[in-house]
Structure 1
Amino acid sequence: MVLKAFFPTCCASADSGLLVGRWVPEQNSAVVLAVVHFPFIPIQVKELLAQVQKVSQVHVAVLGTWCHRQQEPKESLGHFLEGLGAIFSHDPWLQLCRERGTRFWSCKAYHQVSTTPDKSIEDQVMLIFYDQRKVLLSWLHPPTVLPDCQAGDTTASAGGLADIFDTVARSEVLFQNNQFDEGPVRLSHWQSEGVEASILVELTKQASGPVCLLLASLLSLLSAVSACRLWKLWPLSFIRRKLSTCEQLQHRLKHLSLIFSTQKAQSPTQLMKKANMLVSVLIDVALGLLLLSWLHNNNRIGQLANALVPVADRVAEELQHLLQWLMGAPAGLKMNRALDQVLGRFFLYHIHLWISYIHLMSPFIEHILWHVGLSACLGMTVALSILSDIIALLTFHIYCFYVYGARLYCLKIYGLSSLWRLFRGKKWNVLRQRVDSCSYDLDQLFIGTLLFTILVFLLPTTALYYLVFTLLRLLVVTVQGMIHLLVDLINSLPLYSLGLRLCRPYRLAAGVKFRVLEQEAGRPLRLLMQINPLPYNRVVHTYRLPSCGCHPKHSWGSLCRKLFFGELIYPWRQREDKQD
């Protein structure tokens, strides 16, 4: 039987002593956590292990002995190492030894309870070195397809090593409690020389409590104000549901409430989610402050206000030229003269009203833009959401044109389809939601034929107006969609996890791989366990944050079908379609 002994690399040069760790019978493995150095009193070692087991809920025991013969002669230990198995009874009993003057290791395991009289059974030991610090700080993810290893390497899935990682993680108290190192029992592990930046970490922990409590109280007050019944009245609820700015502010309020919550994270997933939200908010505010400084330098807000009215006049002029072209003979097509003139004048009147409104608001545009620019201090996403709402308001006349053309076109399409069923002796059964047979008299067929002919001859004119204004509306929706995608990227991108994957790849582990260190006849096999980091695409997929961005809810087929039949397509999602 082959026994796997996981030995920390930090203990390879430690003084001789006892191997303290956990035995995993399911894996037939021994996980060494620390080395207890000579001299020691056995009862103190047992008290230490009992204290660690009580705190960490990990069955920690003495697994065997460790002898570093390059530092101590064999005679100094004598028969003391052999007699320790009777004091610390553990089956199997490990004996690890590093030969003097060589790089070879001796690894043996004995079963003290043997069926053979006066003889113990010796097992083969496979010695696996691991970086204790990396294993402790890493979080092992579910198994995945690992990348190909180099020659001489072997791979292992994360599922079979979950107990190993869990043992090291739950034994953190053994590494961080200084009384274990300064007491009567002296240990060697990866933190034997001290904890880095422990003072800064403790000061941060002490200061974060009152600050989080104060901010949580303020955020709860804001949440109570936003949940007031006044906001549920019809005009305010409609505006709140349709404006991207309101949705983004509510989304950020939820993020801040979760970040500054005094409730401790229950799992590494929740802790990582909090860290990603905090970094996302900080990056968002930093980008917003950069935008705010850029807008207020060189009076760029005044320049934008002065350029807005001429741009609006230019757009209105181009729309008027477009309508005049449609009212003539566009592309040589022969339109219905009466309907063409009615639709053209109707839309020209809307353009006139819109330009009058823009000129009426022109004295206040600079003040509006100045206050809008101040909102960038809340974050780049808030500024982009306001920009999307401003584009929606400035192109409201194009939206009206699209709605008018789509409704008129849809009415004619459904009228033609209904009259076409009349010619075939069919009708739509509203109650059963199906097409049934029906017999019509002569008058009904005559009126149906007359209406069908009128709609057929009016359809090209209506379809042309619908096509032009639909293309304009799709152009506006595309611009808004790009802004929403940028907002969604800032909201949902797990920046902290990506930075952790870039700077500390071992923290997000997808599995491990083994590299052969020594493989000679008559010598134990020695391997080095290395952590395979999680791929970037899995990091984004695993830690992606929820967002309030506008995601398309239609496939390309359904979108084309709606456009063909004249059904309205809105750029926003209804509240019931959103997912938390």
Structure 2
Amino acid sequence: MVLKAFFPTCCASADSGLLVGRWVPEQSCAVVLAVVHFPFIPIQVKQLLAQVQQDSQVGVAVLGTWCHCRQEPEESLGRFLEGLAAVFPHEPWLRLCRERGGTFWSCEATRRQAPSAPGEDQVTLIFYDQRQVLLSQLHPPAVPPDCQVGADPTSTGGLAAVFHTVSRSEALFRSDRFDEGPVRLSHWQSEGVEASILAELAKRASGPVCLLLASLLSLVSTVGACRVFKLWPLSFLGSKLSTCEQLRHRLEHLRLIFSMKKAENPVQLMRPDLPSRKANTVASVLLDVTLGLLLLSWLHGRSRIGHLADALVPVADHVAEELQHLLQWLMGAPAGLKMNRALDQVLGRFFLYHIHLWISYIHLMSPFVEHILWHVGLSACLGLTVALSLLSDIVALLTFHIYCFYVYGARLYRLKIHGLSSLWRLFRGKKWNALRRRVDSCSYDLDQLFIGTLLFTILLFLLPTTALYYLVFTLLRLLMVTVQGLIHLLVDLINSLPLYSLGLRLCRPYRLAAGVKFRVLEHEAGRPLRLLMQINPLPYSRVVHTYRLPSCGCHPQHSWGSLCRRLFSGELIYPWRQRSDRQD
């Protein structure tokens, strides 16, 4: 039988003593956590282990003895260590010994209740970095170990047990932090305690501050949930404006940052998204505010807001002029196509009148443009995402006439498509049953067929003119939707990018573990196999996928084929319709 003993590298040079850890019978492996040094009183060691087991809910016990033959006589030390097996009974009892040269190791496992022949139980010694395993998070499914000797020294369940044992046994590492107490241990903190008084004081002082800010944010949420804001005009604008969606999203982020709520159970605490979600949210908010302040300083420097206000009206005039040229081109013979003259003139003059109304409105608002831009720039102090959302809403308002053209063209085009499809069913002797929602057979008389033929001919010959206007304004509308989509994509990137987790992956790759790999240290006949366990870091793509924050962006629910069918049939495309159905 092959037993696996996970031994921390920080204890390789420790003085002789007892091996303290956990035995995992399902995997036939022993996880060594610390070494208890001489002298000690057995009852004090048992009390310490009972206290650690009560705090961590991990079955910690004395697994065996550790002998470092540097100063102690080998014979007297060996007899003393053999006597400890009667005081701390454990099956199997491990005996690890490092010889004087420091190169050769001996590792044995004995069973008193079921004595076995010498050499029946073989022990594979696996060294691991205790600090890295303690601070790392193993992400399932773990990558199978890459052992170079042809056999896996542990399985996925064994790896999970090792990581779980070390992470839950932090109470054992705190028990001897300042080398005080009746029991002296060697573990990963033996070389130096990583603690800061300033960090501890800041952590204690952050509690009242977070409680106060959480109360203020709850008050803001309560005010926002009043019935006044649920009336039709306000609720309609709040559901359609990207700025309102982004402000609600940032309010949820701030409530998460300043919340004092902890995990309800250990299973929820060990989920990979919960421990780092608050840190990723803090990093996202800090990056957002920093970029917003940089944008604010750039806008208010060298009177850039005034220059933008002066350039906005000429740009609007230029866009209106180009649209007028486009409509005049459509009212003639576009690309040599023969259009219906009367319908072409009616549609062209109708759209030209809308452009005239819109440009008059822009000139009426021109004295207030600079003040509007100043307040828009001031909103950047809330974050770059708020300023970008406000920019998206301004683009939607400035191109509202293009949206109106698209709606008019789409409605007229869809009306003719529905008319042609209904009349086509008339020629085939069928009709649409609205009650049963299906196509049924029907007999028509001669007058109905004659009127249907006239209507079908009229709609068919008017369809090219309507389809051309619909095609042009649909392309303009898709151009505006693309611009807004790029803005929303940037906002979604800032909101959902897990900066803290990516920083951990870059600076401390072992913190996010995808699995482990093993490197052979010694493989000689008659000697125990010694391996070194190294952590495989999580790939960047999986880090982004695992720790990605929820966002308020618009995610299209239709495929390209469905989108093309909707455009061909004349159905309206509302990019904000998916916002209320998003999955956080």
Q: Is the 8 A contact 1:518 1:526 kept in 2?
A: yes
1:114 to partner: Cα distance: 2.9
Q: Which residue of 2 aligns with 1:406?
A: 410
* Corresponding residue for residue 109 of structure 2: 109
Question: Counterpart in 2 of 1:340?
Answer: 344
Give 1:513 deviation, angstroms: 1.2
Structure-1 residue corresponding to 2:59: 59
Residue identity (%): 83
Seen in structure 2, the aligned counterparts of structure 1 residues 303 and 147 have a Cα distance that, compared at 3 Å, is farther
Structure 1 residues 45 and 160, CA gap change in structure 2 (3 angstroms) = closer
Shift, 1:572, TM fit: 1.2
Per-residue deviation at 1:423?
A: 0.8
User: Structure 2 CA distance, aligned partners of 1:147 and 1:16?
Assistant: 31
Secondary structure of the corresponding residue to residue 143 of structure 1: strand
DSSP 3-state at the match of 2:19: strand
* Partner AA of 2:125 in structure 1: L
- Indicate which of 550, 567, 571 corresponds to 2:571: 567
1:257 corresponds to 2:261 = no
Give the structure 1 partner of residue 216 of structure 2: 218
Q: Is the 8 A contact 1:156 1:513 kept in 2?
A: no
Is 1:298 aligned with 2:302?
Answer: yes
**AA partner of residue 221 (structure 2):** S
CA distance in 2, matches of 1:51, 1:578: 48
Paired residues of 1:409 and 1:463 also in contact (CA < 8 A): yes
Cα 1:158–1:511 shift into 2, 3 Å? farther
Q: Quote the Cα distance in structure 1 between the aligned partners of 2:78 and 2:354.
A: 103
Matched residue SS, 1:288:
helix
Match of 2:205 in 1: 207
- Tell me the CA shift for residue 271 of structure 1: 2.1
In the other structure, the counterpart of 2:34 is 34
Task: Tell me by how many angstroms 1:470 deviates.
Answer: 0.5
Deviates more, 1:540-549 or 1:349-358: 540-549
- SS of residue in 1 equivalent to 2:443: coil
Check conservation: 2:2, 2:121, Cα contact below 8 A: yes
Note closer, same or farther for the CA distance 1:208–1:352 as it changes in structure 2 (3 Å cut): same
2-structure distance, mates of 1:455, 1:133: 78
Deviation at 1:345, TM superposition (A): 0.5
Please state whether the residue corresponding to 1:96 is helix, strand or coil: strand
Q: Distance in 1 between matches of 2:344 and 2:243?
A: 39
Candidates 307, 318, 321, aligned match of 1:317: 321
Judged with a 3 Å threshold, the aligned counterparts in structure 2 of structure 1 residues 487 and 413 are, in CA distance, closer, same or farther, namely same
For 2:422 and 2:142, the matched residues in 1 are separated by: 56
Shift, 1:125, TM fit: 1.0
Name the CA distance, whole Å, in 1 between partners of 2:198 and 2:178. 22
Contact 2:177–2:193 (8 Å) recurs in 1:
no
CA distance in 2, matches of 1:331, 1:149: 70
2:145, 2:517 within 8 Å by CA — same for their partners in 1?
A: no
Q: Which residue of 2 aligns with 1:501?
A: 505
The answer for unaligned runs of 5 or more in structure 1 is: none
Q: Which amino acid aligns with 2:379?
A: S
Change (3 A) 1:565 1:148: farther
Match of 1:83 in 2: 83
Residues 139-150 of structure 1: pairs in structure 2 closer than 5 A: 139-145=137-143
Instruction: Give 1:229 shift.
Output: 0.7
Within 2, Cα distance between the matches of 1:536 and 1:201?
Answer: 30
Shift of 1:578: 2.1
User: Which residue identity is paired with 1:112?
Assistant: R
What is the CA deviation profile of residues 92-113 of structure 1, one whole-angstrom value per residue up to 9, with x for unaligned ones?
1111011112401010111121
Structure 2 unpaired stretches of 5+: none
Q: Residue 285 of structure 1 aligns with which residue?
A: 289
Q: Secondary structure at the match of 1:298?
A: coil
- Following superposition, the deviation at residue 142 of structure 1 comes to 0.8
Q: Choose the corresponding residue for 2:226, options 228, 237, 251.
A: 228
Q: Which residue of 2 aligns with 1:365?
A: 369
Cα contact 1:416–1:452 (8 A) shared by 2: yes
Q: Distance in 2 between matches of 1:151 and 1:399?
A: 68
Partner in structure 2 of residue 21 of structure 1? 21
Instruction: Please tell me whether the aligned partners of residues 144 and 157 of structure 1 are also in contact (alpha carbons under 8 angstroms).
Output: no
- The 1-side partners of 2:58 and 2:90 are apart by 16
Question: Structure 1: how far apart are the matches of 2:366 and 2:42?
Answer: 88
Cα distance in 2 for partners of 1:376, 1:47 equals 59
Q: How far apart, in 2, do the equivalents of 1:283 and 1:148 lie?
A: 39
The 1:478–1:71 alpha-carbon spacing in structure 2 relative to 1, beyond 3 Å, is farther
The structural deviation recorded for 1:60 is: 1.2
User: Which residue matches 1:132?
Assistant: 130
Aligned mates of 1:557, 1:456 — CA distance in 2: 26
* Contact 1:287–1:380, Cα closer than 8 Å, also in 2: yes
Correspondences of 1:165-564 after superposition (within 5 Å) = 165-178=163-176, 181-266=179-264, 267-268=269-270, 269-564=273-568
One-letter code aligned to 1:243 = L
- Correspondence for 1:47: 47
Per-residue CA deviation, residues 104-147 of structure 1 (Å, 9 max, x unaligned), is 1010111121357xx88862111010110011111111124569
Q: Which amino acid aligns with 1:251?
A: H
Superposed displacement of residue 178, structure 1: 3.8
Contact residue 177 and residue 189 of structure 2 kept, 8 A: no
Determine the C-alpha separation between the residues in 2 that align with 1:99 and 1:295: 71
- Is the 8 Å Cα contact of residues 556 and 578 (structure 2) preserved in structure 1? no
State the alpha-carbon separation in 2 of the partners of residues 296 and 77 from structure 1: 78
Helix, strand or coil for the counterpart of 1:549? coil
Kindly provide the amino acid, as one letter, of the partner of residue 352 in structure 1: H
For the structure 1 residues 157 and 61, does the alpha-carbon distance in structure 2 shift closer, same or farther, using more than 3 Å as the test?
closer
AA at the equivalent of 1:479? V
Helix, strand or coil at the partner of 1:19: strand
1:373 corresponds to which letter in structure 2? G
Spell out, residue by residue over 1:48-68, the C-alpha distance to the aligned partner (whole angstroms, 9 max, x if none): 112211211212111111111
Q: Cα distance, 1:151 vs. partner?
A: 9.0
Q: Is the 1:16–1:66 Cα contact (8 Å) retained in structure 2?
A: yes
- 1:161-210, Cα deviation, whole Å (9 max, x unpaired): 11111111111011123468311211100112342233133122111101
Q: TM-score, normalised by structure 1?
A: 0.96
Report the AA paired with residue 359 of structure 2.
I
Deviation per residue, 1:224-277 (Å, 9 max, x gap)? 111111111111111000000000101111111111101124414322111111
1:156 and 1:327 mapped to 2: Cα distance?
78
- The alignment yields a C-alpha RMSD, in angstroms, of 1.9
Letter in 1 for 2:194: E
Q: Residues 503 and 176 of structure 1: is their aligned pair in 2 closer, same or farther, counting only changes over 3 Å?
A: same
Equivalent-residue separation in structure 2 for 1:155 and 1:3 (angstroms)? 9
More displaced stretch, 405-414 vs 105-114: 105-114
CA distance in 2, matches of 1:159, 1:298: 63
How does the TM-score come out when normalised to structure 2?
0.96
Distance 2:245 2:467 in 1: 35
Q: Deviations over 1:501-538 (max 9, x none)?
A: 11111111111111111000000000111111111111
The whole-number CA distance in structure 1 between the counterparts of 2:196 and 2:577 is 48
Q: CA deviation at 1:78?
A: 4.9
